[in-house]
Chains A and B, each alone.
Chain A
């Protein structure tokens, strides 16, 4: 199958593979030990999947804000986003 029209690059491939692996890992985790709804520092009751979504959406905004507001390297935003992900998943 010719996928030239999709204009794949190594970077975006890694990005999507990470997302897919993340979803697979979450599915396996859910099967092994089902999530329990709980309430952390976020103002709503969340499941593990909710927190992953909030974490990813928040990470997108962190990257966009970094790009829009600073000229520094994007890796710094990546580190902040990773910290955000961990905080939301653990204490959200």
Chain B
């Protein structure tokens, strides 16, 4: 009986499988085919692993990859502690809860390319509120010509955009801690730091793992915001992996190298997604055992 029910379930999955085949598997197969050939209109030549070799030994790929890890690392180093601090400072009851939740959710609701546009205007050195204010203080700031300024602007935008997500996750973790823990801590005369270190932080472990991995993956795939804000410039200073890929594929129409690059990018993402999945599985197990 069980056997029959299991088999029937497979038919229900079939439509999804067909859709995924058309939208993902067949295009991916095509990308694999493209990655081993030099393609001209009406003619294609098999080149073997040449494009992979070219992309892997390309100095520009190495710098884009290094930039990408630097960006994702900085995102985590800033957003996770900041998100926790915001969550700790948020009110626990009363009208302030809804007010702060809505305020925090606002940046998350704005479309990503609009975020880029907002920050272009906000940081313009001549008319932007931020850019003009900084410049009037005597500090030269122009994200269109100075790489450091472009990075500062990107990080500010990223932190403004995504720290609320970390804060909301951390807040949900904090609210799930039973009041009895805090009462026990109070009776023992625990300091605020000890309460945080031994009660709040361990109890937030699950949500923080999700926050860290989500933020890592998202920042690793980032495209729209830096594309709108800096277009990968000045020079190549904010050219991340996805921007570099689009430059090869659409900019210079080198489909072979772009396909090889896509597959390398895919394998990197696949590795991190798998690590992400494993970490999430183990977080659940850890809590059950503890």
Contacts and interface: CB of A to CB of B under 8 A. Distances in A.
A and B physically associate = yes
A7 B39 contact: yes
Nearest to A69: B56
A25 interface: no
B267 A64 contact: yes
B19 interface: no
Given A6-B29, A57-B270, A68 B57 contact: yes
Interface residues of A, number: 18
A62 to B, nearest CB: 11
A15 interface: yes
Interface in B14-38: 26, 29-30, 32-34, 36-37
Contacts of A6: 26, 29-30, 33
Contacts, number: 48
Nearest to B44: A7
A12 B267 contact: no
B49 interface: yes
Contact of A11 (B36, B264, B282): B36
Contacts of B282: 44
B267 A57 contact: yes
Nearest to B267: A60
Cβ-closest 10 pairs across A and B: A68-B56, A7-B33, A6-B30, A12-B33, A60-B267, A67-B53, A67-B52, A67-B56, A12-B32, A9-B46
Interface of B: 26, 29-30, 32-34, 36-37, 39, 44, 46, 48-49, 52-53, 56-57, 264, 267, 270-271, 274, 278, 282
